[in-house]
């Protein structure tokens, strides 16, 4: 009997042998597409791998597009405020999906770390030029450490800081603002609406967040023409301010009467357009924070953020570490001079605490986790 030739044999899938690629899947060529036809869009929200972007910003054809990221960008953070190149279906129609293929150069990057020794940086927002540090006069108690850390983060990012005080019906904000009166930092306070009919009862924190229209107009003037990110602990009224400025309906919450801490309501950062302002005016709401690590900020940048203390360092000996036991440190004498602000000794203490934390010489305790010392 004649043997079956290979030409007569019936082949199926089991005859196919695939050799595993030890290097994993890789592109067949190193020449990657340039995507010159990509449309520029601004990222306004990030949610579980989906990026909401605005295409044709400031035009009559402005629309919202939902995107995923390209494989080559999987290790690069994409955050609200980013300008990105988008390809695919950018019509913005329901059930359509586009793809982000590149991140445009960023003008600024606001970053934080989990603590002062964590080497991992977390990008909060990109391309913002205003950092609004939001604090309540009471409930929760404002912390000087949060202000100093926020100013250092803004200085590192090249962003102009603004300090905004809420719940001014509970306590006079001037008492806390004496801490920064020697600094060239713009401040704003929000008064409650006249419709409240006087001082609210104890524990009624939501009533204290009802903001007057005059306060909103003053804040709108400060933020007009800028991309502003709101940063602060939970319960201070960030989302309430954003809602009043933009007409949105971000979820808001109160403060726990037992712990004095705010309840988390915003789970992710989101950029919102502020109406009736100059083109390019955006407000970015962020979740409440209880720590603001500065592991990415150098000691020199930390010192530079204390602008009221920097002039005294000219009289310090070379190599001075500016610690309490540093020989000949001129800061100790400087803060007690008549021309120094009343808060200068407290600010020097804060500077030394931050410098020690950046060197790993101290462990952040409960007060540090709550963003520093309170002024009572």
Q: Percent of the chain, pLDDT > 90?
A: 57
Predicted model pTM? 0.83
Of the candidates 21, 22, 70, the one whose C-alpha atom is nearest the C-alpha of residue 49 is 70
Q: What is the full DSSP assignment across 290-358? A: S--B-TTS-HHHHHHH-TTTGGGGGGSPTT----TT-TT-THHHHTTSTTS-TTHHHHHHHHHHHHHHH
Q: What is the pLDDT of residues 165-190, one digit of tens each?
A: 999 988 999 989 999 998 989 999 98
Q: Exposed (0-12), middle (13-18) or buried (19+): which is 366, by Cβ within 10 Å?
A: exposed
Strand partners, 84: 41, 103
Q: 332 pLDDT exceeds 50? A: yes
For residue 169, give the 3-state DSSP assignment.
Answer: coil
Kindly give, in sequence order, each residue whose CB lies less than 8 Å from that of residue 204, ignoring residues fewer than 6 positions away.
none
- How far is residue 150 from each of residues 115, 135, 204, 214, measured CA to CA in Å? 14, 11, 28, 26
pLDDT value for 10: 77
Q: 191 pLDDT exceeds 90? A: no
Alpha-carbon span 201 to 339, nearest angstrom: 41
Alpha-carbon span 220 to 218, nearest angstrom: 5
Per-residue tokens: 232:
């602060």
Specify the higher pLDDT residue, 19 or 354. Answer: 354
Of the candidates 210, 195, 207, 266, the one whose C-alpha atom is nearest the C-alpha of residue 241 is 210
Per the prediction, the chain carries an average pLDDT of 84
Q: 25 pLDDT exceeds 70? A: no
Mean pLDDT of 336-348: 92
Q: 265 pLDDT exceeds 90? A: no
Of the candidates 171, 256, 252, the one whose C-alpha atom is nearest the C-alpha of residue 210 is 252
- Could you give the count of Cα atoms lying within 13 Å of 335 in the half-sphere of its Cβ? 19
Q: What is the pLDDT of residues 267-293, one digit of tens each?
A: 689 999 998 889 889 999 999 888 899
Q: Contact, 263 vs 235, CB < 8 A?
A: yes
SS (H, E, C) 46-65: EECCEEEEEECCCCCCCEEE
Specify the higher pLDDT residue, 58 or 348. Answer: 348
Specify the higher pLDDT residue, 322 or 20. Answer: 322
Instruction: Compute, in degrees rounded to 10, the torsion defined by CA atoms 167, 170, 176, 181.
Output: 70
Of the candidates 319, 318, 355, 315, the one whose C-alpha atom is nearest the C-alpha of residue 332 is 315
Specify the higher pLDDT residue, 56 or 196. Answer: 56
């Amino acid at each position: 009997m004649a043997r079956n030739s290979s030409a007569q044999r019936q082949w199926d899938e089991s005859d196919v042998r695939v050799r595993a690629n030890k290097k994993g899947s890789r592109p067949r060529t190193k020449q990657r597409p340039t995507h010159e036809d990509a449309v520029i869009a601004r990222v306004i929200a990030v949610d579980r791998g989906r990026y909401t972007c605005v295409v044709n910003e400031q035009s009559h054809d402005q629309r919202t597009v939902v995107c995923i990221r390209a494989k080559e960008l999987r290790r690069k953070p994409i955050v609200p405020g980013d300008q990105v190149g988008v390809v695919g279906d950018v019509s913005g129609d329901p059930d359509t999906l586009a793809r982000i293929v590149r991140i445009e150069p960023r003008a600024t990057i606001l970053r934080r770390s989990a603590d002062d020794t964590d080497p991992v940086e977390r990008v909060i927002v990109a391309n913002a030029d205003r950092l609004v540090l939001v604090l309540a006069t009471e409930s929760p108690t404002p912390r000087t450490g949060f202000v100093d850390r926020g100013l250092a983060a803004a200085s590192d990012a090249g962003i102009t800081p603004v300090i905004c005080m809420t719940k001014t019906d509970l306590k006079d904000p001037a008492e806390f603002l004496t801490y920064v009166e020697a600094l060239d930092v713009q401040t704003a306070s929000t008064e409650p609406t006249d419709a409240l009919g006087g001082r609210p009862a104890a524990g009624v924190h939501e009533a204290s967040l009802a903001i007057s229209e005059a306060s909103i107009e003053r804040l709108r003037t400060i933020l007009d023409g800028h991309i502003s990110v709101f940063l602060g602990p939970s319960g201070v009224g960030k989302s309430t301010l954003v809602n009043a400025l933009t007409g949105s309906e971000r979820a808001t919450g109160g403060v726990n009467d037992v712990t004095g801490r705010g309840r988390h309501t915003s789970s992710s950062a989101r950029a919102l357009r502020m109406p009736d302002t100059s083109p390019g005016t955006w407000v970015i709401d962020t979740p409440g924070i209880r720590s603001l690590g500065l592991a990415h900020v150098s000691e020199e940048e930390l010192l530079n953020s204390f602008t009221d203390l920097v002039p005294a360092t000219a009289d310090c000996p070379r190599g001075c570490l500016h610690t309490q036991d540093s020989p000949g440190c001129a800061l100790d004498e400087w803060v007690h001079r008549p021309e120094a602000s009343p808060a200068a000794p407290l600010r020097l203490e804060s500077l030394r605490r931050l410098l020690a934390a950046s060197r790993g010489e101290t462990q952040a305790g409960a007060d540090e986790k709550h963003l520093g010392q309170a002024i009572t």
